[in-house]
Structure 1
C-alpha cells in the first residue's frame, strides 16, 4: 500500500518539474530568455548609468563622465576594438549590438554597447565599443530563488494532496488488513467505516462479497458435515446386515459377493472420513500449537503405514532436527498421506528424508514410480483429482489425500511442492518454518 502512495508522490513531483521546464521553454519562446531578463535586472544600475548619465552628456564631456564612473564604480568600463566584440557575439545579440543596443554576456558577467553610430553623440570612433565587465550578475542565486519558488508551490500542492491521500491510505490499509484476515480463514472479518469516508462504497461492496462467501462456505461445510454424519448410520447398518448375512450364507459365490460389498462399504467409509477431515480443516483454521520433536513424529508416521509387499521404506532423517511449533497430529497426517501415496505409486522404494537448514525444515517423500507430468503437478493437489487410473496399480484413493496434506502444511505457514525424485518418480517436499 505504501508503494502506491510513494509512486503517486513521485508522479506529482515529476509533474511539477515537467511543468517548470515547460514554463521556462514557453516563456523563452514567446518573450525571450528569462535568464537574460534576470541578468538585466541585476545589472540595471550600470545600464542606468550608461543610458541616463553617460549617454546624456554633451559630446565633449562624454569621456570625462565615463572616467568619473570608472573611478567610483566597481565595474570596469573599457573601450575595445569593434572587431573583437563582434567575434564574441552572434545571432540575435549581434543584430541588437549593431543597432546600438546593450548586449549582455551572462557567462562573462559583461555587457557590450557601440560607442558611436552616426558620429554625432560621442567623441570616439565607429570602430570602438564600450565593454562593462565584472557586473553584479549571479544567475546561480537567481536560479536558487526560482527553485525555492517552485519548491514552495510543490509543497503547497503536496500538503493538501497528502492530507487527502491519508484518508484513502488509512481506508485501503484497513481493507488490506480485512483481506488478509479473511484469506487467513477469519470469515467474520469486515471493514467498519463511516459513510462519509472516501472509500466507504468500496468497503461496503467488499463486505457484501465477504458475507456472500461466508454464507456459501458455511452452507458447503454444513452440507458436507451433515451428509457425512448421516451416511455413517446406513453404513453401520449395512455392515451389521452383511455380518448377519455372512453367518447364514453357505454359498461360496454369495460369500465372495459379500466380501466385495464389504470392500465397497470400507471405501465409502474412507471417503466419508476424508470429507469430514477436509471439513474440519476448513472449519478450524487456527491450530492448537505446541512444540514437539520432529524426528519422533516422522518415525511414528512410518510405523502407522499399512503393510505393502515388495516395497522398502528408507528413512534419512538428518541430525539435530529438533523441535518445531505446530499441531503434531495434523502434520503426521500430512506426511502419512504423502507416504501412502508414494507406496501406492512406487515400484520398489519409498524414501522419507528430513533436514534442518537455518530457520527452515524440509521433509521430503520420494518414490521410484512413474512420476507426475509437469503440467499436472499443481492439479494433483485439487480435491478429487487423480492421475490416469492405469498408473495406480491398486486403483484406490479418492484424490483427497494430497489436498488434505497441502491444507495441513499451509495452516502451519509452510509449502508443499512436487518435483522429480532422484529415484526416478515423484518427490513431495514440505517446507516448514523452524
Structure 2
C-alpha cells in the first residue's frame, strides 16, 4: 500500500516538472526566452544610455558621447568588426543583429548591436558593431526565483493531494483487512465506513458481495448438513433390514447379492460421514485446541489404520515434544494421507516426522504411480479423483485429501505434493510453531 502512494507521489512530482518545462518552452516560443528577458531588464540602464543618449547625438558627435559613457560606466564598450560578431552569434541572434536589434549574450554577460545600418554615424560605421561587456546580469537570482515558484506550486498541489490520498489510504487499508478476514473464513467481516468517505461506494459493494457470499455458503452448508443427517436414518433402517435378510436367506446366491448391497450401503454411509466432516470444517465452529504429545499421537494414528497388503514404515522419533492444536483434526488429516498412500502404493508406505524451529513437518511417502505435476493442485478439490472409476476396488470419494488440506489450512499450515524418493507421491504437512 505504501508503494502505491509513493508511486503516486513520484508521478505527481514528475507531472509538475514536465508541466514546468512545457510552460518554459511554450513561453520561449511565443514570447521569447524568459531568461533573456530577465537579462535584458537587468541591462536596461546600459541599453537606455546607448539608445537614448549615444544614438541621439549628431553624426559628428556620436563617438564623443560613446567615449563619455565609457568614462562614467563600469561596462566596457568596444567597437568590433561585423564579421567577427556574425561568426560568434547563433542563426536566430544573427538575424536580429542584422536588423539592428540589441542581442544579449547570457554566457558572456554582454550585448551586441550594430553601430549603424546606413553608415550615418561616421565613415565605416555600417561595418562595425558595439560590444558591451561586464553587464550587471545575474541569472542565478532569476533561477532561484523560478525554483521558489516551482516549490510553492508543488507544495500547493501536494498538500491537498496528500490529505486526499491519506483518506483513501486509510479506507483501502480497512478494505484490505476485511478481505484478509473474509479470506481466512470470518464471513461476518464487513467494512465500516461513513457515507462521506471517498471509497464508501466501493465498501458498500464489497459488503453487499460479502453478505451474498455468506448467505450462499450458509445455505449450502445448511443443506449439506441437513441432507446428510436425514440420510442417516434410512441408511440405519436399510442396514438393519439387510442384516435380517442375510440371516434368513437360505439361497447362497441371494446371500451374496445381499452382501454386495450391504457393501454399497456401507460405502454410502462412509460418504455421508465424509460430507458431514466437510460441513464441519467449512462451518464457523472453533477448533478444539489442546496440548498433545506429537510422538504418541502420530504413532497412534499409524496403528489405527486398517490392515493392508502394503508395509508401513513409521519413523517418528521419540521426544518430539508437544503441540498446541486440534489433535483430532490433525490426526485425521494424517490418517487420510496414510490411507490414500495405502490405496495406491505398490508395496511400501512411510510416515516420518521432524520438528524444527518450533514448527512440525509430517511426511507421508509411497511407492505407487505418483501424481502428475499438473494434477497436484486439483487433487485437493472435493470429489476430484485421479482414478475416474467409482468402484470399491479403488475406493474413496475424492474427499480425503480435501479434508486433509482444509484441516492443515485451519491451523495456518500448508500441505504440498512432491515426488517421493520411493518413486510415488510425497505429501508434506508443514505446521507453524504453536
TM-score (norm 1): 0.87
Tell whether the 8 Å contact from 1:344 to 1:393 is kept in structure 2 after alignment. no
Aligned match of 1:350? 349
Matches within 5 A, 1:259-274: 259-274=259-274
Matches within 5 A, 1:234-383: 234-284=234-284, 286-290=286-290, 292-309=292-309, 311-316=310-315, 324-356=323-355, 358=357, 361-383=360-382
Offset at residue 348 of structure 1 (A): 1.3
Aligned match of 1:196? 196
C-alpha distance 418-140 of structure 1, shift in aligned 2 (>3 A): farther
1:212 and 2:207 correspond: no
Offset at residue 126 of structure 1 (A): 4.1
Deviations 1:256-295 (A, max 9, x none): 3343333223222221211111111111364344555544
Matches within 5 A, 1:98-177: 98-121=98-121, 125-177=125-177
CA distance in 2 between partners of 1:116 and 1:152 (Å): 46
CA distance in 2 between partners of 1:388 and 1:363 (Å): 25
SS at match of 1:314: strand
Deviations 1:361-396 (A, max 9, x none): 443322211122233222211111111246998320
Aligned match of 1:385? 384
Aligned match of 1:408? 407
Offset at residue 180 of structure 1 (A): 1.9
SS at match of 2:206: helix
Aligned match of 1:226? 226
SS at match of 2:113: strand
Gaps of 5+ in 1: none
1:83 and 2:83 correspond: yes
C-alpha distance 43-384 of structure 1, shift in aligned 2 (>3 A): same
Offset at residue 356 of structure 1 (A): 5.0
| Pairs aligned (count) | 433
Higher mean C-alpha displacement, 420-429 vs 73-82: 73-82
Gaps of 5+ in 2: none
Deviations 1:88-131 (A, max 9, x none): 11312112222222111122222112234333336874443322
Q: CA RMSD in A?
A: 3.0
CA distance in 2 between partners of 1:110 and 1:93 (Å): 13
C-alpha distance 109-280 of structure 1, shift in aligned 2 (>3 A): same
TM-score (norm 2): 0.87
Offset at residue 216 of structure 1 (A): 1.4
SS at match of 1:428: strand
Higher mean C-alpha displacement, 181-190 vs 395-404: 181-190
